[in-house]
Amino acid sequence: MTDENVVLDVPSTEEKAQHYSAMQDSVNLIDEMRTNPPEDMTDEEVADCISRNVEHLEIMVAKEWWGNEDMTAANAAIAG
């Protein structure tokens, strides 16, 4: 078996900021869905929306290229 070089695709500072902003959007949406879900959505739709956003946060928090960004809100939203 040969060693393969692993290339970590590290986003630029601007891209990291965009990812972090999207994470905050997910946190806000999850919080809103949990505390004040829209009346025009079924419980299943609300649960699906929360689930998809939690999954997004789990994927993003696990990225190895983060610097000193505060993940407290994201981790709290994941924990529910």
pLDDT digits (tens, 9 = 90+) for 25-46: 999 999 999 999 999 999 999 9
Kindly list the distances between the CA atom of residue 67 and the CA atoms of 14, 16, 20, 55, 62, in Å, as whole numbers in the listed order: 13, 9, 11, 21, 12
Please tell me the total count of domains within the chain: 1
Distance from the Cα of residue 24 to its chain's centroid:
8
With respect to residue 33, please indicate whether it lies within any of the assigned structural domains. Answer: yes
| Cβ atoms within 10 Å of 64's Cβ, excluding its own | 6
Q: Is the pLDDT of residue 11 over 80?
A: yes
With respect to residue 53, please indicate whether it lies within any of the assigned structural domains. Answer: yes
d(CA 74, CA 80): 10
With respect to residue 3, please indicate whether it lies within any of the assigned structural domains. Answer: no
With respect to residue 2, please indicate whether it lies within any of the assigned structural domains. Answer: no
With respect to residue 5, please indicate whether it lies within any of the assigned structural domains. Answer: no
With respect to residue 19, please indicate whether it lies within any of the assigned structural domains. Answer: yes
With respect to residue 24, please indicate whether it lies within any of the assigned structural domains. Answer: yes
What is the extent of the structural domain holding 67? 13-79
pLDDT at 9: 86
With respect to residue 32, please indicate whether it lies within any of the assigned structural domains. Answer: yes
